[in-house]
Amino acid sequence: MERKGQAIFGVLAVVLCGVFAACGGSDEETIHVYTGRHYDLEEAFNQYTEQTGVKIEFLEGSDAELRERIAAEGEDTEADIYMTVDAANLAQAAEQDVFAPINSESLEAAVPENLRDPQGQWFGLSQRARTIVYSPDRVSPDELPTTYEELAEPEWAGRVCLRDSSNVYTQSLVASLIENTGSDEALKVVSGWADNAEILPKDTIMLESIEAGLCDVAIANHYYLARIMEEQPDFPVNLVWADQSGRGTHVNISGAGVTKHADNPEQAQALLEWLATDGQSIFVDGNHEYPVNPDVAPESLIATEFGETFVADDLNAAKFGALNAEAVRLLDEAGYE
């Protein structure tokens, strides 16, 4: 069957036909997923195909490139689902009219209100907590920082590693500060971070830098530490949940929505419903993420090492996602690289 929409935006794409099954069959039997999430999809989608007979084809690329591609392809797009990491990407896709609103009692029951779009355009499918990690050998219990703001204080100068300003997780954390504390206070905090921190390009490098003694504390997504601990149980870095006496730890999401011009919107919605319910553990466990569905328990490593529950900031992801541009401007104003 001739493929529609051959517009190319320089996306380095990998198409996996029918989750490693042979390409073929009618479009009614296939869901096309454009995804910026590049890991831990195969097991969940293999199981879905086995259970339903519905094939899944992936087009992989960067979040922004795929979003622009869907918008450019318009009615000719093959995308039934746009899946991405970070609420800002989802919010921007909603602004670009990429999604069709979903009316689903199943998704609304499975995904808490703060982890989905108020208009039902997208739904979070996994939680990724961005919190404080530290060296237990060099950070004493009485000085352990428990809020993001503390790392802006002068006593932490030269002891902090932070992720670069171009990273979406940094931007979303700052956006949450803007919404929760106001722009002036957020600027003060981010300026303090810029003064105190070594800015690094990856969360894994920050964790390795703590191990090597190059810094004592960092802010990272919890699953990066869990990945290392899976291979190195004695890795000398601990995690503390931020702001447990206040607004709670900042939580970002990996999520998805059905595209406005999907060929198979009903099949696409059914897949998202399955990922949030029966397929939730399969989808989140491989990357050590926390489930969005409160009825699903987290996998054993993070449950044992980090705890089954923590106080999370209940700020709606759509709100901090929509503040991405303001967060980028504030980071620049603060001199945060």
**pLDDT string in tens for the chain (337-residue length):** 333 333 333 333 333 333 333 333 345 689 999 999 877 778 899 999 999 999 999 999 999 899 999 999 999 999 999 999 999 999 999 999 999 999 999 999 999 999 999 999 999 999 999 999 999 999 999 999 999 999 999 999 999 999 999 999 999 999 999 999 999 999 999 999 999 999 999 999 999 999 999 999 999 999 999 999 999 999 999 999 999 999 999 999 999 999 999 999 999 999 999 999 999 999 999 999 999 999 999 999 999 999 999 999 999 999 999 999 999 999 999 999 9
- 8 Å CB contact between 298 and 132: no
Q: Please state the pTM of the whole predicted model.
A: 0.90
Q: Please count the residues of the chain.
A: 337
H helices present in 117-202, as ranges = 168-181, 183-196
Q: Determine the 3-state secondary structure of 250 from DSSP.
A: strand
Q: What is the DSSP string of 270-304?
A: HHHHHHHTTTHHHHHHTTTPEESSTTSPPPHHHHH
Residue 41: the pLDDT is 79
| C-alpha dist (Å) from residue 63 to 68, 84, 92, 123, 294 | 9, 6, 10, 16, 27
**Which is it for the CA torsion 140, 227, 286, 12, positive or negative?**
positive
- 8 Å CB contact between 35 and 84: yes
Q: Determine the 3-state secondary structure of 83 from DSSP.
A: strand
**Which is it for the CA torsion 204, 177, 297, 268, positive or negative?**
negative
* Residue 190 backbone zone (phi > 0: left; psi -120 to 50: alpha; other: beta): alpha
Number of DSSP helices (H) and strands (E) in the chain, helices first: 13, 10
> Within a 10 A sphere around the Cβ of 52, how many other Cβ atoms?
15
β-partners of residue 309 are none
